Chain A
């Protein structure tokens, strides 16, 4: 049993698993889609690469 500082709640865990599996899939598909696009647009600058303001630090 892993010791937890907060009680995460059983219902919260299940909902999270559900949402996260769908949203996680979307991330994987998105990443693959960008890879495919990159193959076809080698010479073009892709704007959607910089959609994440977290990374510009």
Chain B
């Protein structure tokens, strides 16, 4: 009997192989065309070196039937990354670390006579808290005298958005949502401030690069090169130059809406502690394996959740809060918590070829449990979403819900209402319970001590 095999839509471009799932297990077929490069990757020691450094996802070779037998050389079973995230969902530090990881991989590859044939940001995923290459078929044997074929892609996927975030506005990483193959360099060059021309790395890798692309747009590569060759030292020099340029780019989270939320005094330490205890109790009762903490700020309660052993996506709309969150992941070497930038009123759509290359945020669910702490008033009042629609959205994300109701009398809601007419007659605790009751049954509820807030545990 033939079991169902599904080819994944994200990996159709590369003739070296492709991903497929069978009975829920992820496999990667290596095609005959890639046999030599794969063998070299494994036998040169590069594979182990990268896996040991946490830079490449490990795999085992499998003897299951290939998905496309005619072309198959081997089938690999890669270690599965718990959640696939995309560069337009990363904070500045995450994109920067992914860029540096790519360069570090390329440097090690060059030293073993191999080279990355692509430098796509989508090939990097945060695995056990660190940026890791997931595409085992990205390597090729280095051809004597040849330049780095993925140089342009590296500049578009990493350098251009990082420079724009550092020098213009941190929100410009959202350009990656529009341009799936990275920010066009002529656009980056125009948007960057003039002073970046005094930065040697940016003036060459972005500005000069953009002009050269324009000037040589209609010239064939072989003609443009005129037989010039590139030595191995030159290739390493290029990587060093890119690395120095990326390292110098800095962005500090400050002065935005949420980054100093916990520092500001919203409700007492008692309430905060009580919320933590309630959350811990309920989570240990329902024991979810996967959690989405939506509107997580800098991830305080995500960490309470991660301590139960669950894998937690800790999302927030504020890039500064996510940056603070990510820095803590790095500092404490947290492996089961992934901070992401996400606007819940317009979550990541599915994009790319046939709208199927990159999944929407919701397609990457559902999870076992959703946390929505101090979030509902933002969706219901700031964004005019009726409470039953908020409940419907959460219900689509997961079976369990831990949700906080913040009444109108709370200073945070008062702040939201200050600049507008209060049209929210349904926004009461009774209205909230009845709206959420259409999608959930309330399993448990409690006031949050020393506050007027309520915490609920609900099941779909």
Task: Name A's B-contacting residues (CB within 8 A).
Answer: 1-2, 4-6, 8-28, 54, 57
Contact = CB atoms under 8 A, between A and B. Distances in A.
A11 B234 contact: no
Interface in B349-400: none
| Among all A-B residue pairs, the 9 with the closest Cβ atoms | A23-B237, A24-B234, A11-B212, A24-B237, A11-B213, A12-B152, A10-B224, A20-B234, A10-B216
Contacts of B221: 8-10, 13
A15 B212 contact: yes
Contacts of B118: 5-6
Contacts of A8: 147, 149-152, 221
Contacts of B425: none
The range of chain B's interface size is: 35 or more
Contacts of A2: 143, 146
B237 A11 contact: no
A24 B236 contact: yes
B243 to A, nearest CB: 10
Contact of A27 (B204, B211, B223, B233): B233
B233 A28 contact: yes
Nearest to A31: B233
A5 B222 contact: no
Nearest to B233: A24
B208 interface: yes
A49 to B, nearest CB: 16
Contacts of A15: 204-205, 208-209, 212
Interface string B212-228: 11111101111111001
Contacts of B219: 10
A6 to B, nearest CB: 6
B193 interface: no
B237 A6 contact: no
A22 B212 contact: no
A57 B213 contact: no
Contacts of B166: none
Contacts of A20: 147, 230, 234-235, 237-238, 241
Interface in B52-74: 52-53
Contact of B151 (A12, A21, A25): A12
23 contacts: A5-B16, A5-B149, A9-B216, A10-B217, A10-B223, A10-B224, A11-B213, A11-B214, A11-B224, A12-B213, A13-B225, A15-B204, A16-B147, A16-B230, A17-B147, A19-B204, A19-B237, A21-B230, A23-B238, A24-B230, A26-B237, A26-B240, A27-B240
A24 B214 CA distance: 26
B107 interface: yes
Interface string B101-139: 000100110000000011000000000000000000000
Contacts of A23: 234, 237-238, 240-241
Nearest to A2: B143
Contacts of B240: 23, 26-27
A2 B148 CA distance: 13
A11 B238 contact: no
Identify the interface centre among B147, B221, B223, B236: most chain A CB within 10 Å of its CB: B221
A2 B142 CA distance: 12
B241 to A, nearest CB: 4
A22 B220 CA distance: 24
Contact of B153 (A6, A11, A24): A6
A42 B238 CA distance: 31
A12 B242 CA distance: 14
B149 A4 contact: yes
B331 interface: no
Contacts of A19: 204-205, 237-238, 241
A24 B267 CA distance: 58
